[in-house]
Amino acid sequence: MDALVSTDWLAEELGANDLRIVDATYFATDPTRDPAAEYEAGHIPGAVFMDLADLVDTATDLPGMLPPAEKFASRMQALGLGDGSRIVIYDNSPHHTAARAWWMLKTHGAHDVAILDGGLAKWKAEGRVLKKGKETLRHRHFTVWKDEKAVRDLAQMKANQASGAEQVVDARSAARFSGAEADPRPGVAPGHIPGSVNIPQDSLFEADGTWKRGDTLKSVFDAAGVDLAKPIVTTCGSGVTAAVVLFGAHLLGASQVALYDGSWSEWGADAATEKAVA
């Protein structure tokens, strides 16, 4: 299974014994929308709802941090996602949150994971069938595992400031990156990590909401001066859209890509870190 699958492909695969579909819609900055309620109002048949707002590390005050491996595995088992499953993830969020779910699953050892190109919006636009309510879930075994190589913490990011070993790519909007727009979180400074470059996550998509591909996608990275053959760390506000840029690099064959989970929520709130503006 490719990392990115089409709605046609998914429609043909519906009902396959090893296929699991996941709705990973999440609205980090819009409290007026309830992703669980929207899921129950209409989802792709067979899809389960992955609550990204709840799938976090509760031992930290930082927003949306990766949960412990045991907690993640337990939640996946409860959703019926297990070893040997082919997992297809979609969302209906402007933040393209399926990428965060994809990264979390890959980080925790899932092998066959894909994102639905165009998400729920494309599925609905094509007039395909939707189902209401919740799905009946059957527990499956999900091996406890976590690949620390895919994650960066504050100490590693500070060390990278000195070494410059990894390119840092920020997925926030240009206004947030430059500091022209204030951070929405109290106590978090404006600006960006010195030396980082900006690839706003929405620049990786076509007008119809599908992913850019091939040279068109690569041109976005080229314009930002990112060398896909060299190590990359992605960051954003809270680690969600950073996964979008990470997935885009993955589509282009980049093999040394990690994500700074604390992102600007951590760096921008730390009085000891350097900040750059403009």
pLDDT at 28: 83
> How large a percentage of the chain has pLDDT more than 90?
97
What strands, in cross-sheet order, belong to the sheet with 232-235? 151-152, 257-260, 232-235, 167-170, 197-198
Q: Any idea which residue has 């390119």 for tokens? A: 167
Q: Which residues are catalytic?
A: 236
DSSP 137: P
| Residues 132, 102, 81, 114, CA torsion sign | positive
pTM above 0.95, yes or no: yes
118 touches 94 (CB < 8 A): no
260 touches 239 (CB < 8 A): yes
| Average pLDDT of the chain, as a whole number | 97
pLDDT at 205: 98
Q: Cα separation of 244 and 240, whole Å?
A: 7
- Span 202-226, average pLDDT: 98
pLDDT at 95: 97
Helix, strand, or coil here: 234? strand
Provide DSSP, 241-252. THHHHHHHHHHT
Q: Any idea which residue has 């045991």 for tokens? A: 70
pLDDT at 30: 85
Q: 276 pLDDT band (50/70/90 cuts)? A: very high
- Span 30-46, average pLDDT: 95
Measuring CA to CA, which residue among 179, 159, 157, 181 is closest to residue 169?
Answer: 157
pLDDT at 89: 98
Measuring CA to CA, which residue among 192, 173, 274 is closest to residue 233?
Answer: 192
- Span 62-70, average pLDDT: 96
Distances (CA, A) of 91 to 28, 101, 102: 13, 10, 11
- Span 241-257, average pLDDT: 98
Tell whether the model's pLDDT for residue 126 goes beyond 90: yes
Neighbours of 273 (CB within 10 A): 16
pLDDT at 79: 96
pLDDT tens-digit readout, 161-213:
999 999 999 999 999 999 999 999 999 999 999 999 999 999 999 999 999 99
Tell whether the model's pLDDT for residue 29 goes beyond 90: no
Neighbours of 8 (CB within 10 A): 11
* Structural domains of the chain, ranges and CATH numbers in brackets: 4-146 (3.40.250.10), 149-267 (3.40.250.10)
Tell whether the model's pLDDT for residue 31 goes beyond 90: no
